[in-house]
């Protein structure tokens, strides 16, 4: 008698969900059809978010950081449902999709991420732009282009939030605008990158100041209008004229996640054991931005690096549960920090060593190539980048040779004129 197929359902195709699916797909039980993996994701493409900023300056192309799921999952036996989940019946092991389809599961992985949070600040939701998706990049690029074609002498852009997203965005936008614009970075705390090492903050400050970015620290956002924002510091208001506003200062869980009948933090995050299983539902795993381990002495950042590590643990623990083996606790290992600090410039900080500039930019991109979701896509992107580097080197060599020839001709002409 054949054993029933074990159904594993994964909600969310970001770093946590996709990499869990890919790790599971390499197991013999999946290849033999004993386990069935279904990935539910409303978008048709994965997004490598750490490199999203490079689209602003044209350093990378969309296909490099946003390969389609069909491409990534070819040959993996992972079933893709391009749908959005709307609810879960945790007691009956069922997922309800927006197209009214119902998926039964034996094991469930929650990796749907979070959405933007709009505080009750007048005008913010009406005029604010976000930066979390390809659509957000397109909106920003279109808005900047429209302002440029209107013939504005200077474009003022404000970014709210001095975390890594805000700092990286400020550096890239400042390079994109150049002398045609001005970037204002507003942070409510005393420091930008508050949870980062001092050396990282110092290097970031230098880059921002070198790009003429105006910093507003200990400053809150009070109101947003069509062409200005009102900020406050020490009970004093200041009006800053702007053309565009980018909001990077807050996220929250999806509405239907908030409605789940399970233990959560005061902020709405799902509480899990160290194995990343929900406390009340051991057949359900949660990771990424929407989960928090309890009890935990470790603060886990909401980063791609953390989600990537958690995905490996979830895949191993699902396999362990099914095979009745011991589970592995998740311990986040901080391997360092990498930030883009503008066009062809970055910061790489690891184990007390900081590297900045062009070399750091090359290192950062190389590390991220190795983190792309499939070997096939890694190779494709690497070949494209290598080709661009070779073309740039050839151009530099041709330019250098041309200048050398021009210099020799100039010397000869000078000698002839002197009658030598």
**What pLDDT score does 372 carry?**
95
Residue 266's pLDDT band, with cuts at 50, 70 and 90, is: confident
Token pair for residue 146?
A: 């429209």
- Among 129-133, 175-179, 404-408, which stretch is predicted with the lowest mean pLDDT? 404-408
Integer angstrom CA distances of residue 128 from 61, 121, 223, 264, 390: 25, 11, 11, 29, 40
Mean pLDDT of 158-162: 97
Helix axes of 164-177 and 198-210: crossing angle, nearest 10 degrees: 20
Tell the residue number behind the tokens 């001709």, with chain if given: 409
Please state whether the peptide bond connecting residue 295 to the residue before it is cis, i.e. omega within 30 degrees of 0: yes
* The length of the chain, given as a count of residues: 420
The residues, ordered by sequence, that sit 6+ positions from 50 with a Cβ below 8 Å of its Cβ are 304, 338, 368
**Would you say domain 6-113+252-333 falls under CATH 3.50.50.60?**
yes
- By three-state DSSP, how is residue 338 classified? strand
The residues, ordered by sequence, that sit 6+ positions from 345 with a Cβ below 8 Å of its Cβ are 171, 207, 356, 357, 358, 360, 361
Other C-beta atoms closer than 10 Å to the C-beta of 224 total: 21
Helix axes of 15-25 and 304-322: crossing angle, nearest 10 degrees: 40
DSSP state of 5: P
Residue 254's pLDDT band, with cuts at 50, 70 and 90, is: confident
Written as one string, the DSSP assignment of 258-296 is HTSSS-B-TTSPEEE-TTSBBSS-TTEEE-GGGEEESS-
State how beta strands 220-225 and 228-233 pair.
antiparallel
Residue 402's pLDDT band, with cuts at 50, 70 and 90, is: low
Top CATH class of 124-249 equals alpha beta
Mean pLDDT of 1-20: 92
The residues, ordered by sequence, that sit 6+ positions from 359 with a Cβ below 8 Å of its Cβ are none
Residue 412's pLDDT band, with cuts at 50, 70 and 90, is: low
Closest CA to 256 of 290, 282, 292, 280: 290
**What pLDDT score does 418 carry?**
57
- By three-state DSSP, how is residue 45 classified? strand
CB environment 158-181: b (16+ within 10 A), e (fewer): bbbbbbbbbbbbbbbbbbbbeeeb
pLDDT surpasses 70 at 292: yes
**What pLDDT score does 371 carry?**
94
Opening angle at CA 29, ends 23 and 32, nearest 5: 115
pLDDT surpasses 90 at 234: yes
Token pair for residue 389?
A: 């580097």
Closest CA to 247 of 66, 123, 111: 123
- By three-state DSSP, how is residue 214 classified? strand
**What pLDDT score does 413 carry?**
61
In whole angstroms, give the CA distance from residue 238 to residue 240: 6
Other C-beta atoms closer than 10 Å to the C-beta of 415 total: 9
- By three-state DSSP, how is residue 66 classified? coil
Integer angstrom CA distances of residue 268 from 15, 114, 218: 21, 11, 26
Mean pLDDT of 229-237: 96
**What pLDDT score does 395 carry?**
61
Residue 404's pLDDT band, with cuts at 50, 70 and 90, is: low
């Amino acid at each position: 008698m054949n054993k029933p197929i074990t159904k594993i359902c994964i909600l969310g195709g970001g770093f946590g969900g996709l990499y869990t699916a890919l790790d599971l797909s390499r197991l013999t039980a999946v290849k033999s059809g004993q386990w069935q993996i279904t990935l539910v994701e409303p978008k048709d493409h994965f997004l490598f978010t750490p490199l999203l900023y490079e689209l602003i300056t044209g350093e990378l192309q969309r296909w490099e950081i946003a390969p389609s799921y069909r491409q990534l999952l070819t040959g993996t036996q992972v079933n893709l449902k391009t749908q959005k989940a709307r609810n879960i019946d945790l007691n009956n092991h069922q997922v309800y999709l927006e197209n009214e389809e119902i998926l039964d599961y034996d094991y469930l992985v929650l990796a749907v991420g979070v959405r933007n949070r709009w505080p009750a600040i007048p005008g913010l939701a009406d005029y604010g732009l976000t930066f979390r998706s390809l659509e957000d990049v397109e909106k920003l690029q279109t808005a900047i282009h429209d302002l440029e074609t209107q013939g504005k002498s200077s474009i003022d852009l404000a970014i709210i939030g001095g975390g890594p997203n805000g700092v990286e965005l400020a550096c890239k936008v400042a390079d994109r605008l150049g002398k045609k614009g001005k970037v204002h970075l507003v942070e409510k705390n005393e420091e930008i990158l508050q949870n980062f090492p001092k050396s990282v903050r110092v290097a970031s400050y230098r880059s921002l100041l070198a790009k003429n970015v105006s910093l507003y620290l200990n400053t809150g956002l009070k109101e947003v209008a069509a062409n200005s924002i009102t900020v406050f510091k020490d009970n004093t208001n200041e009006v800053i004229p702007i053309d565009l506003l980018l909001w990077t200062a807050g996220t929250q869980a999806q509405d239907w996640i908030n409605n789940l009948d399970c233990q959560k933090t005061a902020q709405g995050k799902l509480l899990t054991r160290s194995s990343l299983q929900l406390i009340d539902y051991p057949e359900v795993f949660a990771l990424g931005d929407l989960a928090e381990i309890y009890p935990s002495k470790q603060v886990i950042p909401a980063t791609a690096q953390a989600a990537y590590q958690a995905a490996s643990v979830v895949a191993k623990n699902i396999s362990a549960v099914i095979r009745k083996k011991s589970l592995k606790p998740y311990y986040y290992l901080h391997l360092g920090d990498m930030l883009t600090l503008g066009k062809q410039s970055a910061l790489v900080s690891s184990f007390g060593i900081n590297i900045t500039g062009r070399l750091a930019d090359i290192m950062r991109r190389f590390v991220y190539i190795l983190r792309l979701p499939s070997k096939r896509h890694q190779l494709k992107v690497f070949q494209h980048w290598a080709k661009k580097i070779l073309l740039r080197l050839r151009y530099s060599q041709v330019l250098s040779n041309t200048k050398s020839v021009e210099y020799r001709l100039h010397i000869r002409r000078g000698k002839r004129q002197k009658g030598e």
